[in-house]
Structure 1
Amino acid sequence: MYRPTAEAPAVTRPISLAPLTVVELGPDEMVDCAARAGFDGVGLRLIRATEAEPLRPTVGMTPLIRETRRRLDDTGLALIDIEVLRLKPQTRIRRDFAAFLETGAYLGASQILVTGNDPDHLRLTDHLAELADLAADYGLTPNLEPMPWTDVVNLQQGAAIVERCGHPNVGLLVDALHYDRAMNTPADLAALPTEWIRYVQICDGVAERPTSVEALRDQGRTARLFPGAGNIDLVAMLGALPQGVPVSVEAPVLWQAPAIERSRAALRGAREVLDLASDRRHLA
């Protein structure tokens, strides 16, 4: 189980397969797919993000969860993160999330993907701090991900909430597509406290940025590109972030190929980008 720290020396970044890249797969199938494709780790979606996704028995000690744990053990893959927790106005942290956290701890996760779905950022901050307290009991860290179709739309808002939260067990998750579409820069990333960055999500995208929230949502969920296949400067982005943290490849693409083929292509792209980022650091 990988738990990065701000003091850790620079190491080769572990590369993880994110659920959205192969969203049709259940968690047990995802573990097998990630292992066969050659990833170092995997992320698992225990709570579906939309009603269009299959509803699976993925919270609690269900047969599916026990089988997923068996496959993680057999493959030796690291479980980088679990998703997705939404902080809403009506959220009650322990009531709503305790079983999810217990499941994640059983599977061996270290990070949680969290979205802010509450326009009251003071209340959202309080909920995030409460989640951080409870998650710490399970060895897990919540990471707030800004995205344009939530109530935390960009990096600046996310950073303000994490800073206000002031909790040592909270991270800020940078997603390459949202970072680029919000016109953020490597300088914005370099200004963040390194201890906030527990892992990072990468993909690529076309040069033209959508102009509506609906188009941003559609692109983010179904029409990204594999790393290195688009116009996002991933090398500069990665160069501004802590070197050793895991990279999660979240790249749902418009390509009707089997999950294993898409996963292998995603990994090839990620490795090429990481090699370029490493070369640039050595030349600097």
Structure 2
Amino acid sequence: MPDRLYSLAALTVLELSPPEMIEVAACAGYDAVGLRLIPATPEEHHYPLASDAGLLRRTRQRLRETGLRVLDIEILRLTPDTQVPRDFPRVLEVGAQLGASEVLVAGNDEDHERLVDNFASLCELAAPLGLHPHLEFMPWTGVKDLPQAHRLVAATRKAGRGNACLLVDAFHFNRSASRLEELVEVPAGWMRYAQLCDVAGPIPASMAEILHEARQQRCFPGDGDIDLQALLGALPPGVPLSLEIPTESLRRQGITAWERASLALDKARALVDSR
């Protein structure tokens, strides 16, 4: 089994500033972090890394001091109103400055022809910076499951955007009822990293409950009901794993960010090592 890179995703420890997050990740034993340059929701507390020069300087300094790398930046949403040349150059430039190689992209647009056009434009903008945009499927977005994501990335690559990639998150894979048979059909080179977590129980009937689980109530690998061994077996061997595991109930119980990050990494390593 190739050496595995583990990255701490922002959502796991969202209360931390980027320098604090890097410190926690280094102390817990991670290889990398994923940094949230754009908030996922208007209500989310956000550290404006792309616009705060002092925060960006401290973040880069902390990366140098710890030796950690930035795996990915997030979350770039493609909506009906998106204008890629207007909306994303600064974010991509900061991501490149931080040394990121991957970009998390959400397709919040039901018009798939327009979505492909915007995703292709984003890939074109990202390519000179060495960045690979990954379209992530989520049940409540315009890209609801793996087959839709596969078709959209294929169309983008057909348009000549060879850095267009697809992101598999274990939670969304499960809650969208995507299938392993569909995953093995995705070319390995389209998946430069994946997001790992677990979730308990059957798929809720309510999309509001799925959203709540996604943002606050995931499980550490092996503590839920997803067949993560089978999922890992269908992903490219040794693919970097971003641990995106929000556990709001543990945070409210006083479990620190370092403790949660450490538990996530210990559980992920145990799962991978048991294969």
Same fold (TM over 0.5): yes
- The answer to whether residue 172 in structure 2 is matched with residue 178 in structure 1 is yes
Cα deviation code 1:15-47 (max 9, x no counterpart):
111111011111111111110111111100011
Aligned equivalent of 1:5: none
C-alpha contact 1:170 1:196 (8 A) present in aligned 2: yes
Tell me the residue number matched to 2:241.
247
SS in 2 for 1:80: strand
Corresponding residue of 2:64: 73
TM-score normalised over the length of structure 2: 0.95
* 8 Å CA contact 1:235, 1:273 repeated in 2: yes
Q: CA deviation at 1:207?
A: 2.4
Q: Deviations over 1:81-131 (max 9, x none)?
A: 000000011111111100001100111100000000111000000110110
C-alpha deviation, 1:139, in angstroms? 1.1
Shift of 1:162: 0.4
Among candidates 17, 21, 40, match of residue 30 of structure 1: 21
Number of residue-to-residue matches in the alignment: 268
Q: One-letter code of the match for 1:104?
A: G
* Matched position secondary structure for 1:157: helix
> Counterparts of 1:268 and 1:258 in 2: how far apart (Å)?
15
Alpha-carbon contact 1:21-1:249 (below 8 Å) kept:
yes
Which residue matches 1:227? 221
The structural deviation recorded for 1:138 is: 1.2
Q: Note the C-alpha offset of 1:213.
A: 1.2
Q: Please tell me the residue identity of whatever aligns with 1:268.
A: D
Q: Secondary structure at the match of 1:137?
A: helix
Q: Which amino acid aligns with 2:191?
A: I
Contact kept in structure 2, 1:207 and 1:232, CA below 8 Å? no
Residues 18 and 47 in structure 2, CA contact (< 8 A), matched pair in contact too: no
Which among 194, 197, 205 is matched to residue 203 of structure 1? 197
Give unmatched runs, 5+ long, in structure 1: 1-9, 278-284
SS of aligned partner of 1:147: coil
Equivalence for 1:268: 266
- 3-state SS of paired residue (2:225): coil
Note if 1:132 corresponds to 2:123.
Answer: yes
Match of 1:148 among 139, 162, 165: 139
* 1:39 matches 2:30: yes
Q: Kindly state the Cα deviation for residue 61 of structure 1 after the two structures are TM-superposed.
A: 6.2
C-alpha RMSD of matched pairs (Å): 1.1
Partner of 1:280: none
Distance 2:175 2:213 in 1: 11
1:95 is matched with: 86
Match of 2:186 in 1: 192
Q: Is this contact kept in 2: 1:21–1:263, CA < 8 A?
A: yes
* SS of aligned partner of 2:250: coil
